Structure 1
Amino acid sequence: MTESAFTVVDLGGTTLRIGRYDDATGVVSAVRRVPTAGLAQHPGVPAADLQPKVVDQLSALAADAVERHGSAALGVAFAGPVTADGRVLAAPTVWGGGGAPLPLRQLLEDRLGLPVVVVNDLTAAVWRYVVDPDQQPFCLITVSSGIGCKVYRRGEVLLDAEGHGGELGHWTCDPAPDAPLCDCGGRGHLGGIASGRGVLAAARRAAQADPGGYARSALARPAPDPARLDSPAFVAAVRAGDRFATAVLRGAVAHLASAVTAVFTSIGVRRYILMGGFALALGQHYVRLLGEELERLGCFGLDPAEIRRMVVLGAPDDDHGLVGAGRLLAARGAGRTAVSAA
């Protein structure tokens, strides 16, 4: 067993990524990506039935990888709130609303026989961007199948022991009784409106409300039927400057801008790093729209030039959780003791 080799996992609502982290070099290699055996693969299946499917999939992949990697420990970045002792409290994008809290760390340690650390995926990803414990505080935001965030300040991620904090995607930004549904079952949540899935749903609603406008947009070429519209086609239309698609995206981004201004005005964080497949695919188009909405709303005490510098893109890959989990394992003793969700 090589002490500096860890197996790392990033388990999201759409994709499960697993790879080898070399502590000596800080490099992730041998990454394998497979569809997560959850809600996206089995729509309509109850959470209680999806939980064992996901655990079985993760256990089998991890057991194989640990042996191949010669791992000293396993680090799991999980798409949902996680307590300090590695219990998953909820996973709306993985198995939907409902489901009992899942002692994932203990289940994996029992099955694999080695130390395991389980933290929220954004908590793990934060550590990819920590170069100095005393660096400027920042907020990492992911926009993918859901929305989440974590704030880093003075050597820690701001959470309590029960994993509360950083679930900006479940902030109710639309209180209307018919507001869009979130994967957790709630209505009007930011993640249900401004995530990749939420924006696609908004585009389909806009097409129903304005069929002529949709027919004239670039979206209609790959998907004459709005029900068949997918994320790559939407991203391509925005990047090509399509007005219909950009207007839909701006409507969703306006809600995220409101959330960012709330974070800034409450705790004064001035740096926001964007990651997640949807935001990174849109790239600077997304940053520009978010910056424009932030300027429109205003950030109390900041001038427009300062506001424009607040938002930056993260690394252009999907290895955030993997690299972060590896760095966290190394920093916290390779998972040999309980690791705080912070």
Structure 2
Amino acid sequence: MSDPAFTVIDLGGTTLRTACYAPDDDTVTDVRRVPTDGIAAHPDLPVAALQARVLDQVAALAAEAVERHGSTAVAVAFAGPVTADGRALAAPTVWGGPGEHLPVRQLLEERLGLPVVVVNDLTAAVWRYVDPADDRPFCLITVSSGIGNKVYRAGEVLLDTEGHGGELGHWTVDTSPQAPPCDCGGRGHLGAIASGRGALAAARRAARTDPAGYARSALAATAPDPELLDNHALVAAVRAEDPFATAAIHGGITALASAITALFAAIGIRRHLLIGGFALAVGPRYAELLTAELERLGCFGLTREEIREMVVLGAEDDDSGLIGAGRLLAARGLAAAS
């Protein structure tokens, strides 16, 4: 008899994904994607209204998925810090901030009548990359709507019970008054500068500052008006090594490289896996640019050859949160998180 199916959900700032996870073969099927009904779709709504909309959306889609899958439990990979009992402390890319702490696990269990596990999306994704044959510590970094990270070491993700840890995206990089705004309400955070949204904003700013340079770039052929520029065009131009596009995102890559060197200096993490829509869309070119910055900045005690091995791309899909959430549920059995 096969193991029971689980419904897994990956709630991101841009996209909400649902899928069926099969523990017996460690796969996800019936993957469905819809735009998240949050701040990206309704930028003028207050946080409380966005929280209600997003929770209603998750609950409705989860109920439909549970019926399709015949699930015995649900796991939600959530784009923000989450406590051990499933309360969402913040969700800048989903509903802005700061807002009230939302008891996501409790509310979903009441609506679904099933055990629910809620963890940070990167905490979930980590478990996709844990290899029992290679227990070296690593840091998983997502470069997507925002920036997030989680460190895996000695069989666990390094977090406290209140969900703190792994929020490099809210490390302040630029302290100037005109620093780019972050979705959380702060300014100059790494996520505001180095995320996919931050890269697009940087490209538009560069176009306003240097209209002649923009006009000569591959970006102008796709979007003569830089305000109409989107991430698809920006990614294509960076992949093609367009000088203007590459220069526009260089500041964000430098900031991310600086964060990685600080992480290495603080706790000695030498393996960094990159996932997230923006980084994976740019692909090997992104890892190449980031590695070049790491070499330029240097990591105390490492040779250039060792630095070149620090960064690798994760799987070329957007299923890490789904698969990791499924593995986490399987490890916990059918019980809800404690």
TM-score by length of 2: 0.98
Give 1:98 shift: 2.3
1:278 aligns with 2:283: no
CA distance in 2, matches of 1:303, 1:133: 26
Give 1:178 shift: 1.0
Give 1:199 shift: 0.6
Amino acid at match of 1:37: D
1:111 aligns with 2:107: no
Give 1:3 shift: 4.8
CA distance in 2, matches of 1:149, 1:44: 28
SS at match of 1:18: strand
Tell me if structure 2 keeps the 8 A contact 1:72–1:115. yes
Which deviations, in whole Å up to 9, do the C-alpha atoms of 1:148-170 show, x marking residues without a partner? 00000011000000000000000
1:3-82 to structure 2, matched below 5 A, reads: 3-82=3-82
SS at match of 1:90: coil
Amino acid at match of 2:337: A
Which deviations, in whole Å up to 9, do the C-alpha atoms of 1:136-191 show, x marking residues without a partner? 00000000000000000011000000000000000001111110000001000000
Give 1:218 shift: 0.4
1:294-333 to structure 2, matched below 5 A, reads: 294-333=294-333
Give 1:338 shift: 2.6
1:195 aligns with 2:195: yes
1:247-286 to structure 2, matched below 5 A, reads: 247-286=247-286
TM-score by length of 1: 0.97
Tell me if structure 1 keeps the 8 A contact 2:117–2:337. yes
SS at match of 1:17: strand
Distance 1:133 1:188, change over 3 A: farther
CA distance in 2, matches of 1:2, 1:178: 57
Give 1:333 shift: 2.0
Amino acid at match of 1:338: A
Number of equivalenced pairs: 338
Q: 1:338 maps to what in 2? A: 337
1:156-305 to structure 2, matched below 5 A, reads: 156-305=156-305
CA distance in 1, matches of 2:208, 2:32: 39
Tell me if structure 2 keeps the 8 A contact 1:214–1:244. yes
Amino acid at match of 2:215: A
Tell me if structure 2 keeps the 8 A contact 1:159–1:166. yes
Which deviations, in whole Å up to 9, do the C-alpha atoms of 1:261-315 show, x marking residues without a partner? 0000000010000000000000111001100000000000000010000000000
Structure 1 alignment gaps of length 5 or more? none
Tell me if structure 1 keeps the 8 A contact 2:3–2:22. no
Calculate the aligned-residue CA RMSD, in Å. Answer: 1.2
CA distance in 1, matches of 2:333, 2:134: 21
Which deviations, in whole Å up to 9, do the C-alpha atoms of 1:39-85 show, x marking residues without a partner? 11111111111001001010011011111101110000000000000
CA distance in 1, matches of 2:301, 2:59: 50
Give 1:328 shift: 0.4
Amino acid at match of 1:192: A
Amino acid at match of 1:147: I
CA distance in 2, matches of 1:109, 1:251: 43
CA distance in 2, matches of 1:111, 1:314: 34
Amino acid at match of 1:167: E
